Amino acid sequence: MRIGINTFLFTSPFTNESTSLFKTFKKWGFDTVEIPVEDPSHIDPAHVKRELDRHGLVCGSICACMGPGRDLRGTPAAQKAGLQYMMKLIDQMVVLDCPSLIGPVYSEVGRADAVPAAEYKKQWATVVKHLKTLARHAEKKGRQVCLEPLNRFETDFINTCDQGLKMIKAVGSPALKLHLDTFHMNIEEKNQAAAIVKAGSKLAHFHACGSDRGTPGNDHIDWKPIVKALRQVNYKGDVVIESFTTDVKVIARAAAIWRRMEPTRDEIAVKGLQFLRKALR
């Protein structure tokens, strides 16, 4: 398993200039970089790829940033914008030699409100339709899309491993896989290890975050059974630290980070990496 770092810990938005972070990531010992591309115009993927190569790193994943106006169950305009945005990301992934588009690829983050069962069913069918289109594009380009369940405060649509697997089955594409995150699972799953085992071969991406979005290992999460479960399902994908701090204001607000979780964000990266190396050894 490769260990990666999500760049939201250090910057937003990620641009061509943000590639200056790669030297530090390599020095710390990370294998992969996860890049949230907030708008495809923010980067020249060929330039980013050259900088990754120069520092001996790879882009393991591109994170879909499903902000306002990008929503596969939203207005017709939001559905179109969300789908077109993710199709462009997949095209950029080819240039970056990046295998995985990850994140809440189904809806705008922060849209969380109870709806009648009939309306939820209608939304579900709409998302299935669009994800079939997205997955077909991913298949043609030799990429995969990894769908991430989020906690109840960030979405009312897909919160659990079970719901994610149900969506994957409904779409029926080998390019659509599951992405699990220890922070979200800490809120929504009865047992994180059991959820990983249930995901099985469908699990293609994994976020390792502290229970408070801080440093993995410096929290109350029981990591031993999580690691055991990852081994049990023969997980071969990336394990990525996706933690946030108050230093990146726009992300802090979006993720409701109102206080300093750790002394420094460098410490989250360095100590988190040390912990994961030891735990996954």
pLDDT in tens, 196-222: 999 999 999 999 999 999 899 999 999
Query: Residue 54: what pLDDT?
Result: 98
Query: Residue 248: what pLDDT?
Result: 78
Query: Residue 253: what pLDDT?
Result: 78
How many domains would you assign to the chain? 1
In tens, the pLDDT along 30-77 reads 999 999 999 999 999 999 999 999 999 999 999 999 999 999 999 999
Q: Which residues, in sequence order, are bridge partners of residue 31?
A: none
Quote the pTM value. Answer: 0.96
Q: What number of residues does the chain have?
A: 281
Domain range holding 223?
A: 3-280
CA 25 – CA 83 distance, rounded (Å) = 31
Contact yes or no for 95/49 (Cβ under 8 A): yes
Q: What is the CATH number of the domain that holds 87?
A: 3.20.20.150
Catalytic residue flag (residue 119): no
CA 198 – CA 185 distance, rounded (Å) = 13
Catalytic residue flag (residue 108): no
Name which of 221, 224, 216 is nearest 268 in CA terms. 216
Query: Residue 17: what pLDDT?
Result: 98
Contact yes or no for 245/260 (Cβ under 8 A): yes
Which one from 51, 108, 154, 242 is the annotated catalytic residue?
242
Which one from 34, 38, 148, 154 is the annotated catalytic residue?
148
Could you say which residues of the chain have pLDDT below 50?
A: none
End-to-end CA distance of the chain: 9
Query: Residue 116: what pLDDT?
Result: 96
